[in-house]
Chain A
């Protein structure tokens, strides 16, 4: 199952709730403003690091770059994807939950 997050974790609790309900082996893709949850040094870092033990987390690079954020500052273990990678994720998963 793929979960997508497109809002900043500082704006809504979608990321936290998503990680609460996503099960081991699920994938979570951060895109649009959701990418702000992907970086070292934020208050969400430990939550992300913890989740990475059982889940796959991805971040969409064009949205990182568009916002002037650096891919080399992305938390270790988060995988970077481009649009093609995004498409692959949606195709590879039977269900997609787009968290608002």
Chain B
């Protein structure tokens, strides 16, 4: 990377997992992109919030016939991807609350490696602001 220009990347996830390939593709792009030390945020909106639903149970040989890639979101903290924003209205209209989501955490290097939650439940205005602050927005 020349001159270490750090750009702000936002990945917007709006599709449920398994039914289409978008969710998995997005996750893979995030993991690959994490190698480039950019300022990465993830937003989960509409059916995208279902990607973070806890208790997903499937495998290549059973269930949806795909690997349970929900486990991979738990590794995002290791990849320094720890700004995860979930749209409250999307949770509300699906009858979901924060308790229905996986606990995604990271270790804060600047705070004695204390384990902290990566997830913020935010309102429409906060997401709108977030989008506006980005250099690059990628939709999935």
**Which A residues contact B (CB, under 8 angstroms)?**
1, 13-14, 17, 20-23, 94-100
Contact A21 B136, beta carbon cutoff 8 Å: no
Contact A100 B140, beta carbon cutoff 8 Å: yes
For residue B14, CB closer than 8 A to chain A, the reply is yes
With a CB–CB cut-off of 8 A, which chain B residues contact A98? 139
With a CB–CB cut-off of 8 A, which chain A residues contact B89? 20
Q: Which of A17, A22, A94, A95 contacts B45 (CB 8 A)?
A: A17
Number of A-B contacts (CB under 8 A): 39
16 inter-chain pairs at a CB distance below 8 angstroms, sorted by A residue, are A1-B132, A17-B45, A17-B46, A20-B124, A21-B127, A21-B128, A23-B129, A23-B132, A94-B135, A95-B132, A95-B134, A95-B135, A97-B137, A100-B22, A100-B139, A100-B140
| Closest chain B residue to A100, Cβ basis | B139
Contact A100 B128, beta carbon cutoff 8 Å: no
**Which B residues contact A (CB, under 8 angstroms)?**
12, 14-15, 22, 45-46, 89, 124, 127-129, 131-132, 134-137, 139-140
Looking at the assembled complex, report how far the CB atom of B10 sits from the nearest CB atom of chain A, in whole angstroms.
9
With a CB–CB cut-off of 8 A, which chain A residues contact B46? 13, 17
Looking at the assembled complex, report how far the CB atom of A39 sits from the nearest CB atom of chain B, in whole angstroms.
24
